[in-house]
Amino acid sequence: MRIALIATCLGDALFPEVAKATTVLLERLGHQVVFPADQVCCGQMHVNTGYLTEAVPVVRQHVEVFEAADFDVAVAPSGSCVGSVRHQQAMVARRVGDTALADRATALAGRTYELSELLVDVLKVTDVGAYYPHRVTYHPTCHSLRMLRVGEKPLQLLRAVQGIDLVELPGADQCCGFGGTFSIKNADTSSAMLADKVANVVGTGAQVCTAGDASCLMNIGGGLSRGDTGVQTIHLAQILASTREQVAA
């Protein structure tokens, strides 16, 4: 399958290893990955901060770049960004009266998937041949959980990873407190939410906390790091891309 990669703005700039791992994983599974080079951002930050009008050119850029690209399906290693593509892009376009853009965004959203959705629902694979010999706990990010309803898919993928010791995270479905600019606008409340998430992660005894969103992991990782907990954060795509050969090297 020809799969277009949405690296996400945060992934491109701050967490390139997530997009790299997504690429490596999909290529290993025998697919062709394309990267439409003029992509930037889905527009979620603007939408969720209330700058809905400002989000429109960002959305237009996304739609135009991916419309022009040649691919079967698009994937983003981010439940949040895919949530934005599916639930917000058409909404902001419609809000400024651009129904044509709204329709184009909806059409693109129809073939855009979050990584675990792509693997399990579209590519019909749960065992991706990964090897990751660590104790891991999984945080289901809010938008994966409630906007996309990915449900058990990420866990199905993780359970099939060889060597992994997957431990359940108490209060898993509670928000980590990131919420984009919420973490700045309501920093105190956000930090209080994060403190509980960090305590829950540490309580599992896991060495690694994983999730399907680099943004939430940046928040949780920031708290784990400040608390000198020794617990690392790693994106689901990186675990799935990890192989025995790679670990041995």
Partner 1 sequence: MSTFLGIPRRHAAQEESPLRGALPFPKAARRELANDQLRRNLAHATSVIRSKRALVVDEMPDWEALRDAGAATKTQVMSNLPALLEQFEANVTARGGVVHWATDAQEANRIVTELVRAQGVDEVIKVKSMATQEIGLNEYLEDNGIAAVETDLAELIVQLGHDTPSHILVPAIHRNRTEVRDIFLAEMEDAPADLTDEPRRLAMAAREHLRRKFLASKVAISGTNFGIAETGTIGVVESEGNGRMCVTLPETLITVMGIEKILPTFTDLEVFLQLLPRSSTGERMNPYTSLWTGVTPGDGPQNFHLILLDNGRTNALADQVGRAALHCIRCSACLNVCPVYERTGGHAYGSVYPGPIGAVLTPQLTGMHGHHDVNSTLPYASSLCGACYDVCPVKIPIPDLLVELRGRAVDADRGRTIPGGWDAAMKAAAWIMSDPTRFAAAEKGLAAGRLVAGRDKKIKHLPFPGSAWTHTKDMPAPPKQTFRQWWKETHHE
Nearer to partner 1, 33 or 240 (CB): 33
Nearer to partner 1, 107 or 184 (CB): 184
Minimum Å distance from CB 131 to partner 1?
Answer: 22
Q: Which of 2, 226, 246, 247 binds partner 1 (CB under 8 A)?
A: 226
Q: Which of 219, 238, 242, 243 binds partner 1 (CB under 8 A)?
A: 219
Nearer to partner 1, 15 or 113 (CB): 15
End-to-end Cα, the chain, rounded Å: 29
Nearer to partner 1, 62 or 164 (CB): 62
10-17: list long-range contacts, CB under 8 Å, 24+ apart. Answer: 10/78, 10/214, 10/215, 10/218, 11/77, 11/78, 11/214, 14/214, 14/218, 15/214, 15/218, 15/235, 17/235, 17/238
Size of the site for partner 1 (CB under 8 A): 72
Residues whose CB is less than 8 angstroms from the CB of residue 150 and which lie 6 or more positions away in sequence, other chains included: 79, 114, 116, 117, 140, 144, 212
The verdict on 147 binding partner 1 (CB under 8 A) reads: yes
3-class SS of residue 232: strand
DSSP string, 177-212: S-TTTHHHHTHHHHHHHHHHHHHHHHHTT-SEEEES
The verdict on 53 binding partner 1 (CB under 8 A) reads: yes
The verdict on 2 binding partner 1 (CB under 8 A) reads: no
Residues of this chain, 12-51, that bind partner 1 according to CB under 8 A? 12-17, 19-20, 23, 33, 35, 37-41, 43, 45-51
Residues of this chain, 79-138, that bind partner 1 according to CB under 8 A? 88, 91, 95
Q: Which of 78, 89, 116, 183 binds partner 1 (CB under 8 A)?
A: 183
The verdict on 69 binding partner 1 (CB under 8 A) reads: no
